[in-house]
Amino acid sequence: GTNLVFIDLHSFSKKYEECETMEDIWLYSIKNMFAMEGCPENVIGTEIEDLFVRSELAKMTIEQRLKYEEDIMTENDILNSIAEQLEDAKKEATAIGIAEGRAKGRAEGRAEGRAEGERSKAYAIAEKMLSMGHPIEIVAELTEIPLDELEAWYKKLI
């Protein structure tokens, strides 16, 4: 069987501030919904909020309801379009970032390679000049290797 419960809303006299349980809030909401301007903040996210939303929909004429549903579909279409655009923008930004990163990495790699090549060439020239007896100060100046660095390197060489 079905159990029926009858509630005498007329005898429910609590003010909203006096409601202590969800049952109290339910009874208060049902009894006073016609006079309330919206859902109380502390019940947002509960089934009582759903009651308020449904009651607003129930008050609408058929024309208002159709317009409301059309507006909801339009809003959803706009939100979906924005989500797709964001996803496309993320993919494009990622692709651009990867391409720029690779290009920067290649450029830095080439620059480091050139610098290392020039450095190796300078040390090769320095080794030849020093083996020919040129003064280390002159070799440092001509190869643009700092004198203290050249001296430390040359000490390891000999």
pLDDT value for 122: 92
Which of these, 65, 21, 18, 16, lies nearest to 38 by C-alpha position?
16
Report the distance separating Cα 99 and Cα 112, nearest Å: 20
The DSSP code for 37 is: S
For the stretch 17-42, pLDDT in tens is 998 998 998 898 889 887 887 787 77
Taking only Cα atoms into account, the Rg of the chain, rounded to an integer number of angstroms, comes to 41
- Listed in sequence order, the residues at least 6 apart from 122 whose beta carbon sits closer than 8 Å to its beta carbon are 143, 144, 145
For the stretch 98-138, pLDDT in tens is 989 999 989 898 989 898 999 999 999 999 999 999 999 99
pLDDT value for 59: 83
Q: At what angle do helices 147-157 and 62-131 cross, to 10 degrees?
A: 60
Work out the end-to-end distance of the chain between its first and last CA atoms, rounded to an integer number of angstroms: 106
| pTM, rounded to two decimals | 0.41
For residue 43, pLDDT beyond 90? no
Helix intervals (H) in the chain: 22-32, 47-59, 62-131, 136-143, 147-157
